[in-house]
Amino acid sequence: MKTMKTTIGRGSLRRSLFFCVGFITLTLVAVACTKEKSEEENTLNLVISSNVKGLDPIDVSDVYSSRVTSQIFEGLLSYHYLKRPLEIIPQLAASMPTVSADGLVHTFKLKKGVKFQDDPCFPEGKGREITSNDFVYSWRRLADPRNRSEGFWVFDGHIKGLNEWRTAVGEGKADYSTPIEGLQTPDSETLIIKLTHPYFQLHYVLAMVVTAVVPKEAVEKYDKEILNHPVGTGPFRLESWVRNNKIVLVKNPSWTGQTYPTEGEPDDRAQGLLEDAGKPLPFADKVVMTELVEDQPRWLNFLKGNFDYAGIPKDNFDQAISGGALSEELKQKGMRLHVAQYPDLTYVAFNMEDPVLGKNKTLRKALSMATNTQISIEKFYNNRAIPAHSPVPPGIDGYDKDFVNPYQKYDLVKAKELMKEAGFPEGKGLPEFTFETTNSATARQVAEYFKQEMAALGVQIRIGVNTWPEFTTKVKEKRAQIWGIAWNADYPDSQNFYQLLYGKNVSPGPNGSNYVNKEFDELYEKALRLPMGQERTAIYKKMRAIVVEEAPWIFGVHRLGYVPSFHWLKNFKPHPIINDDVKYYRVDTKEKAKLKAKL
């Protein structure tokens, strides 16, 4: 291209260029000088790794919403903060309920003087005392089909008359005044629950936030908007919520009477977890919960001290942990490490209705022996997981640390022999299988690894990447062949894991494998009628033997949580089940100011 000769006129152009550069520099300088917000007194800064949907307890179905609602709402029961194995304690109940000899009638007395948080929905904005009727009302909401609560399964089929009422409401033949036989309130402090059959998990589900108490006034005033106007009895109440950004909770002044526990595990005293024993709760005046979905900003913000604790994203593990302890770099920053055993299980499920996979248990065993759990643990869990030999994780009744599942072992030679035995030597004659997975980066890598392992056995795997809804739909419509999944316990009871293989729970129920075995089902039903204890554990042992032999799953791992926190966060002990533990946390503001200055 030819250039045109110009002699004059550069001056003005140069000046405007200067102006531009000047403008940009100014902006940058201004930014560099923005004021640090003054360190607020006694505020907890927590981070939530997903977006919170709503704050109506009956709608809580994910840990993120539960993390917030559990600070605002309370149920009849809860768990002891420090004790392990986990122990159920009364929360809004004055004491543990009396239970009839046949286990069918549970009578609760309510704690006196518990009030709802102040809210404009009450006369003069003053929260009133709770009554036993409030519980019946709250649970009707849970059962009301129009509310389509995911949490209804906790009562489904267990309480006399509740399912009938649910159906009648759905058909427009009943309303909230229609009595329910199984939920009775002789007076405002007494609540009687009548069951259709012994339900030994009842006390656990009453500690879940879906069964928390909600005032009728709030539901009537806010109607569908109640999910943005939570009114509970808990230690904190909602101050503000910028959706998808942050939730600010403040201390509920009308919440009194609870104190920090005085007992715990033997090690807790040494860990400094009992220094506040007997002191009134909650310690924090304000809790800021930031919603941040991406790993990178979450972790970087934590390193800058903007959050009090954080889970470690898989790939930042090396930076955080060296040889099982906190790395020097993070120690220097003033952090310490907490290890929590989560009651969960990962597994690779086979669809037992698949014409090839479902009919050939030798083939399934071969695939199981070709998976190297040890490598998965190194790659994806950074050695912070233990191989799973049975459905039940550590910390749950009936877990047997000495039990060895022979097909959990990695043995490629044996696996190849089994392939021959199954009629597919070197994988000949087998169709290509599809392994379904979700679309996160980690899930993708896990799937890739499974494919590599199967290729060594001569089994061809195609990886199907799905969004979470597509994934669940495929499993629930029995369209998936092989898939990897994890199960987190709803409550610490091995029944919660064995139900995943119960014949009546097949898809769309939680038994995604569609595994049906008559003997297993009979044993399961027998165990249901028994309380936790040796007799039941003996039955579960028989069921375990069946599952191991039939191999409807490839057992994966039980995970451990590694959570670093800053020294200024006191009384922090990750709890495997509950989420209402924020009231126990205390910020040492002096220490925080000191440590943060160095970050």
Partner 1 sequence: MPILFGITLLTFTLFNVAGGDPAVQFAGKNASAVQIEQIRHELGLDRPLYQQYFFYLKQIVSLDFGRSWSSRQQISTLIVDGVGASLSVSVPPFFISVALCIVLAMFSAFFRGRLFDRSIMVGCLGLMSISYLVYIMVFQYLLGYKMGLFPISGWDASWVDRWPYLILPWICIVVVSLGANVLLYRAVFMEEIFQDYVRTAKAKGLNTRIIYLKHILKNAMIPIITVVVIQMPYLYTGSLLVENFFGIPGIGGLLVQALANADFPVIKAMVFIGSVLYMVFSLLSDLLYALVDPRVQLK
Partner 2 sequence: MIGGDRNSLWWDAYRRVVKNRLAVASFIVIMIYGLLALLASFELILPQVHLVDHARGYEPPSWEHPLGTDIFGRDVLSRAVYGIKTAMMVGLVATLISILFGVTLGAVAGYFGGKIDEMVVWLYTTIDSVPFILLVPALAFVMERGIKSLVIAMGVTSWVGLCRLIRGEFLKHRQKDYVLAAEALGASHLRRIFRHILPNVFYIILIQFSLGFVFAIKSEVILSYLGLGAEPGTPSWGLMIDDAKLELARGVWWGLAAATLFMFFLILSFNLFNDALRDALDPKLKNK
Indicate which single residue of 442, 472, 488, 589 sits in contact with partner 2 (rule: CB under 8 A): 442
Residue 297, both tokens: 């900003």
Indicate which single residue of 188, 296, 452, 534 sits in contact with partner 1 (rule: CB under 8 A): 296
332 binds partner 2 (CB under 8 A): no
448 binds partner 2 (CB under 8 A): yes
404 binds partner 1 (CB under 8 A): no
> Which amino acid is it at 193?
I
Candidate segments 24-32, 160-168, 221-229, 431-439, binder of partner 2 by CB under 8 A:
431-439
Pick out residues in 365-424 that bind partner 2 (CB under 8 A).
Answer: 375, 378-379
Residue 507, both tokens: 């898809």
Alpha carbon separation from 273 to 265, 267, 494, 584 (Å, rounded)? 10, 9, 29, 10
451 binds partner 2 (CB under 8 A): yes
The radius of gyration of the chain's CA atoms, rounded to the nearest angstrom, is 28
> Which amino acid is it at 96?
M
266 binds partner 1 (CB under 8 A): no
Indicate which single residue of 464, 556, 564, 576 sits in contact with partner 2 (rule: CB under 8 A): 464
Candidate segments 9-17, 256-264, 267-275, 393-401, binder of partner 1 by CB under 8 A:
9-17
Indicate which single residue of 39, 41, 156, 263 sits in contact with partner 1 (rule: CB under 8 A): 156
49 binds partner 1 (CB under 8 A): no
Residue placing its CB nearer to partner 2 in the complex, 315 or 397: 315
Q: Tell me the C-alpha distance between 313 and 239, whole Å.
A: 30
Q: Which of partner 2, partner 1, none has residue 6 at its interface (CB below 5 to 8 Å by kind)?
A: partner 1
The number of CA neighbours under 13 Å toward the Cβ of 373 is: 25
Smallest gap from residue 315 Cβ to partner 2 (A)? 4
Residue 406, both tokens: 């022979």
Residue 35, both tokens: 């004021």
Q: Which of partner 2, partner 1, none has residue 123 at its interface (CB below 5 to 8 Å by kind)?
A: none
Candidate segments 69-77, 236-244, 323-331, 522-530, binder of partner 1 by CB under 8 A:
236-244
Smallest gap from residue 457 Cβ to partner 2 (A)? 15
374 binds partner 1 (CB under 8 A): no
Smallest gap from residue 450 Cβ to partner 2 (A)? 10
Q: Which of partner 2, partner 1, none has residue 319 at its interface (CB below 5 to 8 Å by kind)?
A: partner 2
Pick out residues in 54-83 that bind partner 1 (CB under 8 A).
Answer: 54, 56, 59, 61
Q: Tell me the C-alpha distance between 169 and 166, whole Å.
A: 5
Binders of partner 1: how many residues, by CB under 8 A?
71
Smallest gap from residue 467 Cβ to partner 1 (A)? 6
Pick out residues in 281-320 that bind partner 2 (CB under 8 A).
Answer: 294-296, 299-300, 313-319
452 binds partner 1 (CB under 8 A): no
481 binds partner 2 (CB under 8 A): no
Residue placing its CB nearer to partner 1 in the complex, 143 or 212: 143
39 binds partner 1 (CB under 8 A): no
Indicate which single residue of 128, 176, 239, 293 sits in contact with partner 1 (rule: CB under 8 A): 293
Angle at which helices 412-422 and 361-369 cross, to 10°: 160
Nearest of 426, 338, 427, 346 to residue 380 by alpha carbon? 346
Quick one: three-class SS letters along 114-182?
CECCCCCCCHHHCCCECCHHHHHHHHHHHHCHHHCCHHHHHCCCCECCHHHHHHHHHCCCCCCCCCCCC
DSSP 34-95: PPPPP--TTEEEEEESS------GGG--SHHHHHHHHHH---SEEE-SS-SS--EEESSBSS
Q: Which of partner 1, partner 2, none has residue 111 at its interface (CB below 5 to 8 Å by kind)?
A: none
5 binds partner 2 (CB under 8 A): no
Q: Which of partner 2, partner 1, none has residue 596 at its interface (CB below 5 to 8 Å by kind)?
A: none
Pick out residues in 492-521 that bind partner 1 (CB under 8 A).
Answer: 508-510
Q: Tell me the C-alpha distance between 285 and 102, whole Å.
A: 46
Q: Tell me the C-alpha distance between 466 and 34, whole Å.
A: 43
Residue placing its CB nearer to partner 2 in the complex, 119 or 453: 453
Smallest gap from residue 527 Cβ to partner 1 (A)? 18
Strand order in the sheet with 553-555: 461-466, 433-438, 482-488, 344-350, 553-555
Smallest gap from residue 493 Cβ to partner 1 (A)? 14
Residue 510, both tokens: 């939680």
Give the strand pairing for 286-291 and 77-79.
unpaired
Q: Tell me the C-alpha distance between 337 and 356, whole Å.
A: 46
440 binds partner 2 (CB under 8 A): yes
Q: Which of partner 1, partner 2, none has residue 464 at its interface (CB below 5 to 8 Å by kind)?
A: partner 2
Which distant-in-sequence residues (6+ apart) come within 8 Å of 376 by Cβ?
446, 449, 556, 557
Q: Tell me the C-alpha distance between 112 and 131, whole Å.
A: 9
172 binds partner 1 (CB under 8 A): no
Helix, strand and coil in the chain, % to nearest 5:
35, 20, 45
Q: Which residues of this chain interact with partner 2, rule CB under 8 A?
A: 1-2, 294-296, 299-300, 313-319, 375, 378-379, 437-442, 444-445, 447-449, 451-452, 462-467, 470
